[in-house]
Structure 1
Amino acid sequence: MICKRTILGGLVVLSAVARAQQDDYPFASSIFDRVNPPFTFTECAAPSEMQTCWESQNYDNEYLNPLCSGLQNRVQCALTNCWNRVYSCDYQQLMVAYNTSCSDEATLSLPFFPPPADAAEVCSCNLNNVVNTFEKASSGWPRCVQKVQDENGITDDDDSGEDFPTPGCDCCYYGVVAAAMYDTCPDQNPGPIALDLVRQIYIEQNPTGNNSLEQCASRLASGNFSCTDYGFNLYGDNATDYAKPTPIHSATGNYSDINGVLKTPVSGATYTFTGWNTTYTITAASVEAVATRSASATKVSGSITGSVTGTAIGGPSTGAAAPTMSAAALIGLSGLAFALL
C-alpha cells in the first residue's frame, strides 16, 4: 500500500506538478513543463509568425483537453515556422511536453523526434534518452515505499500510511535521478533538466519525512539504508554518492544547440505527417531566407532556467513565472494521488 503518494511512474508525478496551475507554491522548472515549454522564437525561419502562432494557443477554454490540443497546435506552429530548429532543444522539449503530458492518449512518433545524433542544430542533450532513463530510474521508488510500509505493518486498510514518512526511499530516489541525468547528459546541469524538481517534491516539500539533502548523506551511509535492498536495482550501488548536497559528477553546463545550422527542410518544403488520427500537410515558411542567412556554428538555446516565453493560463505573454500549484490540485491528476501536506 502506498497511501502517501500513489505513483504510476516518476513521469506522472512531474507531469502532474507541471500541469497544475494554481497559486499556492512555485515549483522548479524542468523539461516536463507543460503549458509553457520555453521556445526561442528569434532563431526560427519565420520568427514573428512562430511567436504569433505559439502565443495564440488558448489553454483556458471550454474544450475537453485544452492542454493537449494546445500542444498539438504548437507542434504544427513549429513544423511550419521553425522547421530549421526541429532538432533543437526547444523543439525536442516540446515533444517531451506532449508525450509525457497527454498520458490519456497514445504516445506518438512525432516528426523529427528523437533526432539523429549528428543532425544540424541538434540539442546537446538527447531529451528522449533522458525520459527513457528517468522512467527506468523511477521504478524503484514505489517498490521501496511498499517495502517500508510492509515492514511497519501498514496494510491496505490502514489510513496511517497516508502520512507515513519514507525518507530513505526519497533520498534514494533523488540519488538515482541524479545518476540517470549524469549518465544520459553528463555535461549538462541536471538541476534544470529534472533534478531540482525532484529535490523539491521528494526532499524539501516532504515535511512528514523530516528530510534534507544534508540528512540524505547519513541516511544512506553504509549500514543505515540500502537503496538496492529496498528496490532501487538501477543505480542502487552509487545512490549514496548522488544523494548529497553537492552530488559527485555534478555538471554545470546548460544544454545547447550544436552542429551548425539547418538551412533546408529535412522533409522538403512541403510534406505530410500523421498524428492524432489526422494527416497534416506542412508547408515550411521562409525557406529561401534561411538558406541565405548566416549564423554561428554553435548557438546556445533551450535554457530552462531563465524566463519562459509563451502564454500561461492567466499569465503574461513573456517572462512567465514557473508553474505553481496548490497541494490539493495534485489529487486526481493523470491518475495520481499525491498530497503535499
Structure 2
Amino acid sequence: MYQSYINCVAESCWNQVYSCEYDKLIEEYFVQCPAATEPIPFWPAPDNAPGGCSCNLGKVLHSVMKAQQEYTTCITNDTSTSVIQLSNKNTACGCCEVSAGLSAMYETCPDTIPADMGADLWLSTATLYGELINWGTCGSIFDKYSCPNLGFAAPSSNSSTFYKPNNLPPNGTHTLYNTGAVNALTAPASGSVFTWSQSSVTYTVTASPWKNTAVKATAAGTSGTSGGSGASGTATAAGATKTSSAAGFSLQLPSVGVWLSVVGAFTKMVLF
C-alpha cells in the first residue's frame, strides 16, 4: 500500500516530493513496513530543495535511526565482569541515545518547534517513559562517560555536541511548513522515467507531464489496499506559525513524533 502511495506521488504529484507531507509518508512507511529499506525515491530531500519542508524531516529521521543503532551496539559491546559497572555503562548508553536524538533535532532544525520534530515523544519512548532512563539525571552520567568513546558518532552534520538535560538550546518557534509555491519544482526530480526497488519488487515510474501549471493525474502504476490502521498520536507546543505561499497536496498521516514513538518503544521491548 505504501509503495503504491510512493509511486502515486512520483507519477502524479512529483512537484511535492520534497514536501513535509511526503516526508511524513516515508516515515509512516518505515513504521508499517519493517522490511522497508533505502534508497527511497526523493528521500531524504537535498538541502534547500525547491518546495521542500522547512525542516528536513528525512535528516532528523536518519539521525534518530542512527542513534538507535548505536545504542544497540553500545549495550551489546560489554566486556566488564562487574554488574555495577555494566549497569552504569548501559545507563550511559541510554543517555547518549536520548541525547543524540534530541541534539540532532535541535541542530538540524533550530527554528522548528521541537515537538513538531517528535522531541517530546522521542524523550518519552527512548527512556521508556522514564522507567528505563531518567533523562534528568543524565547530566551526571555525561560527567563520567563520553558518548563518542561509547561508539556514538556526531548527532548531526551540523554539530558534534551531545546536549545535557540542563543545557539544551532554546526551543524553536516555527511550525512545519512547505517552502516556496506549489510550482517551485517544475520538472521531475529523477527525470520522466525512473526505477526503484524494495525487496524483490522493482517499480518503473513514469511522471505525468506538466500541463496548465498543474500536474496531470493518471491511472497508471501499481495500486493496493490495506484493511489495517496505522499508529497515531500527537505532540503539541506553543510558538509562532509560518505558512507556505501555496497549499500542496495533503496526506492525512501522523506526525514525525509517531514514528519516533513506535520505533523507540519497539526497540526497547525487543532489547529488554
Same fold by TM (over 0.5)? yes
Which of the numbers 166, 185, 189 marks the counterpart of 2:90?
A: 166
Larger displacement relative to structure 2 (94-103 or 273-282)? 94-103
Q: Quick one: structure 1 residues 80 and 138, their matched pair in 2 at CA, closer, same or farther if it must change by over 3 Å?
A: same
Instruction: Give the match for residue 151 of structure 1.
Output: 80
Q: 1:75 is aligned with what amino acid?
A: I
Find the partner of 1:267 among 172, 178, 188: 188
Whether contact under 8 Å (1:121, 1:260) holds in the other structure is yes
Q: Which residue of 2 aligns with 1:213?
A: 135
Match of 1:180 among 94, 100, 104: 104
Deviation readout 1:259-304 (Å, 9 max, x if unpaired): 2331674139x9333233132334358x42649xxxx86358899x
Q: Please state if 1:281 is matched with 2:206.
A: yes
Cα 1:279–1:82 change in 2 (3 A) is closer
| Mapped contact 1:145–1:166 kept (Cα < 8 A) | yes
Is 1:73 the counterpart of 2:16? The answer is no
Question: How do 1:250-261 residues align onto structure 2 when only pairs under 5 Å count?
Answer: 250-261=171-182
User: 1:124–1:86: structure 2 CA closer, same or farther, 3 Å change rule?
Assistant: same
Contact 1:79 1:86 in 2 (8 A): yes
SS of 1:258 mapped into structure 2: coil
Q: Over aligned residues, Cα RMSD in angstroms?
A: 4.4
Q: Is the 8 A contact 1:140 1:173 kept in 2?
A: yes
Partners of 2:185 and 2:97 lie apart in 1 by: 43
Identity among equivalent pairs (%): 24
Output the CA distance in 2 between the equivalents of 1:104 and 1:81: 25
1:91 aligns with 2:16: no
- Tell me, what secondary structure is at the counterpart of 2:50? coil
In 2: Cα distance, 1:337 partner to 1:213 partner: 15
The one of 284, 290, 309 aligned to 2:252: 309
Contact 2:53–2:176 (Cα < 8 Å) also in 1: yes
Q: C-alpha separation between the residues in 2 aligned to 1:79 and 1:96?
A: 16
**Aligned residue identity for 2:212:** E
Note if contact 1:181-1:190 (Cα within 8 Å) is conserved in structure 2. Answer: yes
Q: 1:128 to 1:84 in 2, by over 3 A?
A: same
| Structure-2 separation of matches of 1:106 and 1:237 | 27
CA contact (8 A) 1:79 1:282 kept: yes
Amino acid at match of 2:101: V
Q: Give the alignment of 1:1-341 within 5 angstroms.
A: 70-98=1-29, 102=33, 104=35, 106-110=37-41, 112-146=42-76, 149-153=78-82, 166-205=90-129, 207=131, 209=132, 211-220=133-142, 222=143, 224-234=144-154, 238-239=161-162, 242-244=163-165, 247-262=168-183, 265-267=186-188, 271-276=192-197, 277-283=202-208, 287-288=211-212, 290=214, 298=245, 309=252, 330=266, 338-339=269-270
Contact 1:263 1:290 in 2 (8 A): no
Q: CA deviation at 1:133?
A: 3.5
Task: Give 1:107 deviation, angstroms.
Answer: 2.2
Change in Cα spacing, 1:164 to 1:118, as seen in structure 2 (3 Å) is closer
Distance 2:28 2:113 in 1: 19
Q: How many angstroms apart in 2 are the aligned matches of 1:181 and 1:129?
A: 9
Normalising to structure 2: TM-score of the pair? Answer: 0.63
TM-score by length of 1: 0.52
The 8 Å contact of residues 255 and 301 in structure 1, kept in 2 or not, is answered as: no
For 2:95 and 2:12, locate their aligned partners in 1 and report how far apart those are by CA, in whole Å.
Answer: 43
| Residue segments in structure 2 that go unaligned for 5+ positions in a row | 216-242
* Distance (whole Å) between structure 1 residues aligned to residue 187 and residue 154 of structure 2: 37
1:174 deviation in Å? 1.0
* C-alpha separation in 2, matches of 1:243 and 1:192: 21
8 Å contact from structure 1 (residues 89, 301) kept in 2: no
Q: SS in structure 2 opposite 1:199? A: helix
